[in-house]
Amino acid sequence: MNVNDKQYRVRVFEIVRKIPRGKVMTYGQIAMVLGDGYTARTVGYVMHGSDDGVPWQRVINSQGKCSTGRLTMPLNMQQSLLEEEGVVFNKSGKCDLNEFQWWPEGSEPEDDQIDPFRKN
């Protein structure tokens, strides 16, 4: 499937719309859940063009940080939106993925598995 294919984008947006308030997913995590043909980079590319109704702020990088800090106006808009939803960031701008990361039902890693996309 091609990243410019409408169905490719629809699948990404469908999963992002399911992320509850106060929770986040990482780009790589979304790619892993969606399977073959999806990568963290392509999910990021798709999210750059998200339409209304897609809670884009709930998708962050694998370090637990916002990737748009210096790209959006006002500065740190993504982090501010997430903080309004209850996501807490430390002084380094990281949220605790152990607390705030959300997994769609049926895609949760086993307790003894390590999330390969988590870097904190």
Asked whether the beta carbons of 118 and 26 are under 8 A apart, the reply is yes
Band (pLDDT 50/70/90 cuts) for residue 71 is low
pLDDT of residue 75: 74
Q: pTM for this structure?
A: 0.86
The token duo for 114 is 């390590």
pLDDT, the chain, mean = 87
Q: Does position 114 have pLDDT exceeding 80, yes or no? A: no
